[in-house]
Structure 1
C-alpha cells in the first residue's frame, strides 16, 4: 500500500547527535592544547566552550527534540497491534515495514498530528482508563452493532443509522476476511468516539471532505490540502499593515476561484441533510477550507460541525434573557422566548448563509464585469435564508441551486478553470 521511501529520521537523529558530540569533544581537546601552548586566560576558553554548548542545545532543539513523543506513540500502537488489541490498514506498514509516518509534528492538548507526504495523521489524546475504551471479550457482533447504533443515536440525534452502522462494520473488517475480530471491533469503537473521524467517515461521499487513508487503533490518516486556507484577512506581515487588501493579491485567477467556490457551496448542501440528520458548521471562516492542486475545495477542520439535533438538545429550555444567551457557537444561535425565558433550541441561519459571507470577498474581487452584478445578486439572496418557517428547506434549495448552476455554467467549458 505504501511504496514511498522509508524515512530514516530516528537513525539520522542518533547519527547527528553522535557527530555533534564528537565534534565538541575534539574542539575542547584542541582548545585545551592551544591554552597550554599560549598560556592564555582560562576564562576565555570557558566562554568559548559555553558558546559551543549553547550551539549544541540549539541544534538539538531544532533537529532532535520530539515534542509529540512520536517514538512513544508508535511503540504503544505497535505493542497493542502485536498483542492483538488493535488493528487497521496502517498497522502493518508502521509496525512491520517500519514506515515512518511521524514527521512535521503539531501538538495540542487533545491531539497530535503529523504530515507525511500528502497525508495528515492524527492520534487523539484520550484517557485510556475511561470505561468505554476497551470492549469486553466475547462481545457478539449483534451486540456490537447495537452499541454502535446506540452511540450514533446519542452523538448525532434520533434517526435511523442502519446504513452508517453497516458501512462502519464493513470498514472495520481491515483484513477483508468477512469476519470481525476483537481487535478490529475495538479499533472501530475507539475511532468513532473521535469526532473528526466519525464526520470524515459519514461524509466520505462529499468531495469537500478529505479521504480517509487508513487507521491503526485510534491512529488515523486522511488527505491533506496543499494550500491549507482559502485566504487570511489578518496575515502577520508588514505588507498587510500597509495595504489592508493585500491578502487578495494572492488569489488565483477568477475561474479557478469560481471552481473552488463551487466546491464550498456544494459542501453547504452536503451537510444540510445527511442520513436524515441536519448538520451545521458553527464557526465558518476562510481558514476552514483549503485548496488542492486541482483547485478543488477541501475542508481543513471539522471540529465545529455538529448535528442540529445535538445542538438543540444543549440549547433547548436553557434559561435566557436575550438571544445572546442562546449561543452555541459563533454561527449557531437560537432565539430566546422572552415570555418563558427559555431558548427555543432552533438555529436561526443555515450554514449557507455564512458560506456566502466568506465567499463574497473571494468571488467578487476582480470578477468579470458581465458577471459581477448577477453574482452579487445571487450572493445577496443568501441573506434572506432562515431555518424557520414551512418553506425554509425549499428556499435553501433554490438559493443553492441558482448559485451552483451559475458557477458551473461559467467554468464547465473554461480551460483556465
Structure 2
C-alpha cells in the first residue's frame, strides 16, 4: 500500500488527522486503522512534492518501497472541513456532489450513477448511511481533481484502486513498477543528466518485448476509454513515462491522474487564454491549441489527439527489440498514428482505424505467449 496526502509532513499530518477524527470532524474507512487500531502507519517520505506527498505505508507488516518524486511545487493551504454544514440532508449532499461533477465534467447523461458510486465510497464504515464527518471528508477529496479522475477511470482498471481514506488523506493500491520505462532519478540528479543520455539509458531498463507490448496495449486501451467515455471525453496532457507504471501482471496503470483533464475544462481554460503566438496556447505539458491572431485568443481545438501523443511516447519503447518480421509494419503504423492532427472527435473513423490496427498488430504477436 502507499499513502498519498497533501499539505504537511508525516508527523504533523497524522496527528492533525487523528485529532480531527476523534473530535468528530472527519471520518473515513481508514481512520480507525490509522488512529485507533494503529494497524496502518506512515513510513518514510517518498516524494519531494510538498503539495502531493507520497508516503510509504505499512499494513499488518507488509512494507512497500518507492522512489523519490520530482521537483518541489508551492505548498497549498489545507482545506477546511466545513462543508457540508450541520443539518444538511443526504439528498442535499447528493445535489452538491452532482453540481460539482457537472461543473467539472459538463452535461453528462450518467452523472447520477457516478454520484451514487461516490456516495457508496463515502460510506466508509459500510453502515448504509453517510455521516456528516464522512460527507465532509468526501467533499474535501472531491476537490482534488486527481481523486475524482481516479474514481472515473477505476472501473476500467486504468488507475490504482482506492483502498481507503481519512479526511483528505487517501490510500491506494501499490503499483510496484514505475515509471513506464527507465529509471526515476531524484530531481537534483535528473536536472544534471542530458535528456539524450537519459533516453538512451531508459531503454536499458525495460521488460522483455512481449511484456512491453502488453503494457503498451494498456496505454492504447486507456486512450480508447477516455475518448468519448462514459463520463465524456478527456485529454491526456502529459504522456511522460513518469506518469505511468505497471503491475506484476504487466498491466498499465496511470499513476498520476493530474495528467488527465476533462475536455470541457480544457476548452474553458483555452477560451480564457490570451495569446500572441501558438506557443502561448499550452495546457499542462502536451495539450496545445493554436492562437487566433485576429482575436489574440487561443482556439479550443487541440492540435493533437491523445492517440498521437501516446504513439509518440511508445515509439522508441516498442521499436527497440521488436520482432524483425513485424518491425517495419509496426514502425509504419506508429508514424501514421503520430501524424494524426486535430481533435479526435472530428475524425472518428481514421482515429478508430489506426487504434484498432495497432492493437491488432500487437495482439497477433503476443496472443500466443504466456505474457498475454
Determine whether 1:127 maps to 2:82.
no
Provide the residue aligned with 2:122 in structure 1.
172
Aligned pairs (5 A) from 1:185-334 = 185-232=135-182, 245-316=200-271, 318-334=273-289
Determine whether 1:361 maps to 2:316.
yes
Cα distance in structure 2, aligned partners of 1:388 and 1:73: 43
1:109 CA displacement: 2.9
Aligned pairs (5 A) from 1:144-163 = 144-160=93-109, 161-163=111-113
Root mean square deviation, CA, Å: 2.9
In 2 relative to 1, CA 126–144 (structure 1 residues): closer, same or farther, beyond 3 Å?
A: farther
Provide the residue aligned with 1:86 in structure 2.
26
Q: Deviations over 1:8-53 (max 9, x none)?
A: xxxxxxxxxxxxxxxxxxxxxxxxxxxxxxxxxxxxxxxxxxxxxx
1:192 CA displacement: 0.5
In 2 relative to 1, CA 276–234 (structure 1 residues): closer, same or farther, beyond 3 Å?
A: closer
Cα distance in structure 1, aligned partners of 2:202 and 2:295: 47
Q: Deviations over 1:297-346 (max 9, x none)?
A: 12221222111111110111533332222222331111222333332222
Cα distance in structure 2, aligned partners of 1:181 and 1:107: 34
**Structure 1 alignment gaps of length 5 or more:** 3-66
Determine whether 1:108 maps to 2:49.
yes
1:409 CA displacement: 2.3
Cα distance in structure 2, aligned partners of 1:390 and 1:181: 42
In 2 relative to 1, CA 247–320 (structure 1 residues): closer, same or farther, beyond 3 Å?
A: closer
**Structure 2 alignment gaps of length 5 or more:** 2-6, 58-62, 67-74
Cα distance in structure 1, aligned partners of 2:277 and 2:304: 17
Bigger Rg, which one: 1
Preserved CA contact (<8 Å) 2:182 2:205: no
1:381 CA displacement: 1.9
Cα distance in structure 1, aligned partners of 2:184 and 2:19: 45
1:172 CA displacement: 0.9
Cα distance in structure 1, aligned partners of 2:13 and 2:99: 30
Provide the residue aligned with 2:71 in structure 1.
none
Cα distance in structure 2, aligned partners of 1:239 and 1:346: 35
1:133 CA displacement: 4.2
Determine whether 1:383 maps to 2:334.
no
SS of the counterpart of 2:55? strand
Cα distance in structure 2, aligned partners of 1:156 and 1:222: 23
SS of the counterpart of 2:130? coil
SS of the counterpart of 1:94? helix
Preserved CA contact (<8 Å) 1:319 1:341: yes
Q: Which has the higher contact order (CA 8 A, sep 6+)?
A: 2
SS of the counterpart of 1:71? helix
Q: Deviations over 1:171-195 (max 9, x none)?
A: 2112222222111111111111112
In 2 relative to 1, CA 167–119 (structure 1 residues): closer, same or farther, beyond 3 Å?
A: farther
Provide the residue aligned with 2:305 in structure 1.
350
SS of the counterpart of 1:175? coil
SS of the counterpart of 2:253? strand
Cα distance in structure 1, aligned partners of 2:120 and 2:40: 27
1:254 CA displacement: 0.8
- Equivalenced residue count is 348
Cα distance in structure 1, aligned partners of 2:318 and 2:79: 49
Cα distance in structure 1, aligned partners of 2:155 and 2:333: 27
Cα distance in structure 1, aligned partners of 2:291 and 2:220: 30
TM-score (norm: length of structure 2): 0.84
Q: Deviations over 1:219-276 (max 9, x none)?
A: 1011222122122489669999989734322222111111111111111112222334
1:391 CA displacement: 4.4
1:351 CA displacement: 1.3
TM-score (norm: length of structure 1): 0.76
SS of the counterpart of 1:203? helix
1:85 CA displacement: 1.8
Provide the residue aligned with 2:4 in structure 1.
none
SS of the counterpart of 2:15? helix
Cα distance in structure 2, aligned partners of 1:342 and 1:404: 38
Cα distance in structure 1, aligned partners of 2:221 and 2:259: 18
